[in-house]
Amino acid sequence: MDQTHLGRSGLSVSRLCLGTMNFGWKTGREDSHAIMDRASAKGVNFFDTANVYGFDQGKGSTEEVIGSWFASGGGRRERTVLGTKVYGSMSDWPNDTFLSARNIVRACEASLRRLRTDWIDLYQFHHVDLGTPWEEIWQACATLVAQGKVLYVGSSNHAGWQLAAANEAARARHFTGLVSEQSIYNLLVRDIELEVLPAAQHYGIGVVPWSPLHGGLLAGVLAEAEGDRRSAEQAQTRLAEHRPAIEAYEDACRAWGLAPADVGIAWLLSRPGVTAPIIGPRTMEQFEGSLGATSLVLEQEQLDRLDEIFPGRKPAPMEYAW
């Protein structure tokens, strides 16, 4: 598995990021451990989670599953670049949500306990908190970094101007600021090309796309549905808006002799500024199926055809002004 730096940092991460959102509630502990072992063996050293993951099983349960895997020893923690997140509500108490200094510090402590580790490699803001000033956010983060509990800080679901505001506020404190941004990005959803990608590249922020196959729509959903009437009916509902493009996409992939899922991820890996798409398997089969994309290099003719099917965005303001 190829490695790259996370943004402008010196931290080396794999070109695929293992998303663990399903672990602990859709994927049992034993199967989750097996997937993480397989990922580590295949050179996927970048794992992503969040304090709220676990949902039906209970918020925090995904971090607990990862913590139990770390506790198995064998250098599992040392070999893993671990990212988790803070923002979402963990209780009904008003200060157990968002990005106040109080919640950042207390949520970090709670994540460390669940994860059974002394440090978090990448602590990420799961969403924008417009009610808390960046000065307060960075004060809390600087404390955690000074204590060795957090090494790098990233964001998720932020706009381009918010990346700029965050890193300018960090610069004023002589603090490193954001080194990564998680955004939804795939062939069907290319909005971040307007403002987020240019801002991220300007500030040396590595982009970590989530939903790289848009919930499976880019994974060959039409071909899979052909032999299953129920699936076909479900696909009809989900594909109502995108069916013509998906049909053209699957036709192109078939002509190239390539799996649609591999093409979707390989396309992201070809995009400037992208560090590592997040793959979120529920099963070992799904994880194994994602690995082939890392060895696929799309030709320019193929990239051009994908742009024809899924038109992208120019960086602002060129998208809408002379």
Output the domain CATH number for residue 11: 3.20.20.100
Q: Which two tokens stand for residue 33?
A: 């451990």
Of 65, 64, 61, which is closest to residue 53 (Cα–Cα)?
Answer: 61
For the chain, list residues with pLDDT below 50: 229
Q: Does residue 42 sit within a domain?
A: yes
Domain membership of residue 233 (yes or no) is no
Residue 315 falls inside a structural domain: no
pTM: 0.95
pLDDT for 235 equals 57
Looking at residue 239, its pLDDT comes to 83
On whether residue 229 sits in a domain, the answer given is no
CA 271 – CA 153 distance, rounded (Å)? 23
Residue 27 included in any domain:
yes
Q: What is the largest CA-CA distance in the chain?
A: 59
pLDDT on residue 229 = 47
Strand pairing report for 3-5 and 150-156: unpaired
Q: Which domain holds residue 150?
A: 3-221+260-309
In a domain, 237, yes or no: no
Contact 148, 119 (CB under 8 A): yes
> Residue 228: inside a domain, yes or no?
no
**53 in active site:** yes
230 within domain boundaries:
no
Residues contacting residue 276 through CB under 8 Å, at least 6 positions apart: 4, 13, 14, 15, 16, 17, 46, 206, 208
- Quick: pLDDT tens for 175-196: 999 999 999 999 999 999 999 9
Number of folded domains in the chain? 1
What number of other Cβ atoms are within 10 A of residue 109's Cβ? 11
Strand pairing partners for 142?
none
Q: Which of 53, 123, 203, 249 is catalytic?
A: 53
